[in-house]
Amino acid sequence: MEVVILPDQSAIAAVAADAIEALIRRKPAAVLGLATGSSPLGVYDELVKRCQSGGLSFADVVGFALDEYVGLPVGHRQSYREVIRREFTDRINIDPAKVQGPDGAAGDIPAACAAFEEALRAAGGVDLQLLGVGTDGHIGFNEPGSSLASRTRIKSLVDQTRRDNSRFFDSLDDVPHHVVTQGLGTIMDARHIVLIATGAQKARAVHDFVEGPVAAICAASVLQLHPHATVLLDEAAASGLKLADYYRHTYANKPAWQGI
């Protein structure tokens, strides 16, 4: 796991966007794993800028979302399908037919999850997966206790996550209790994982998953087992890390050709 501590969100967005741009230049039909939440928004804005200036094309890119609420009506403003469309894919030249996510409005949720896994396989898997992290260490919507080998399935949210996400809804009561999410095993199949965390409210989760034991109680800790996981942090999110100085030194002295 590579930990990179950067001064602010725009530096984080630039580093993540550079990795995505390099990938697309190498492989124009790259498969991107798209996350919601506030953490990846700066990256999306930066990629939109690069696309609109004509330098970067998403024409052949394929996108897969991580997760979705169950029970929100199709087209609901806070459904992750709509958020990804609004925040990212409507603003770039990607083919909307090439973007999909787990279907939280399906009549048969297990069948929809299996179909989603099949679509991921058929696309050849995710090349680069963007992630945020919840205050309880969840990635996607894999709450504490999720099997480290799990695949796309339905989950129940813990109260803290519902409270954290209530800022996007009119009231806490409107936040669904159920979600569908790529499993930890599904996420781990991505060839490169780039997790972004900013702000002091993430410091404890970051400490737990980066430097604590690999354990289902902190889902993101499974990333310690991934051969190519990059964690991009601001100073506040990194404030609980024991080895922060070592991570800073390593990144500052990294050969430029290496990228993340």
- Shortest Cβ distance from residue 13 to ligand GLP (Å)? 13
Query: DSSP readout, 126-145?
Result: -SEEEE---TTS-BTTB-TT
CB of 30 or CB of 83, closer to ligand GLP: 83
Distance between CA 119 and CA 201 in Å, rounded?
35
One-letter amino acid at 169 equals F
Query: DSSP readout, 201-235?
Result: GGHHHHHHHHHS--BTTBGGGGGGG-TTEEEEEET
CB of 4 or CB of 37, closer to ligand GLP: 37
Distance between CA 104 and CA 97 in Å, rounded?
18
Q: Is 233 in the site for ligand GLP (CB under 6 A)?
A: no
Q: Is 142 in the site for ligand GLP (CB under 6 A)?
A: no
Q: Is 186 in the site for ligand GLP (CB under 6 A)?
A: no
List Cα–Cα distances, 27 to 12, 48, 94, in angstroms. Answer: 23, 18, 15
Active site residue 143: yes
Q: Is 129 in the site for ligand GLP (CB under 6 A)?
A: no
Burial of 91 per CB tally in 10 Å (0-12, 13-18, 19+): middle
The stretch among 5-13, 22-30, 43-51, 129-137 that binds ligand GLP (CB under 6 A) is 129-137
With CB under 6 A as the contact rule, the residue among 42, 63, 102, 132 that binds ligand GLP is 132
Nearest to 64 by CA among 117, 143, 136, 1: 117
Active site residue 177: no
With CB under 6 A as the contact rule, the residue among 129, 146, 165, 186 that binds ligand GLP is 165
Contact mark string toward ligand GLP, 61..80, x via CB under 6 A: -----xx-------------
- Shortest Cβ distance from residue 11 to ligand GLP (Å)? 17
- List active site positions: 67, 136, 138, 143
Binding residues vs ligand GLP (CB under 6 A): 35-39, 66-67, 132-134, 140-141, 161, 165
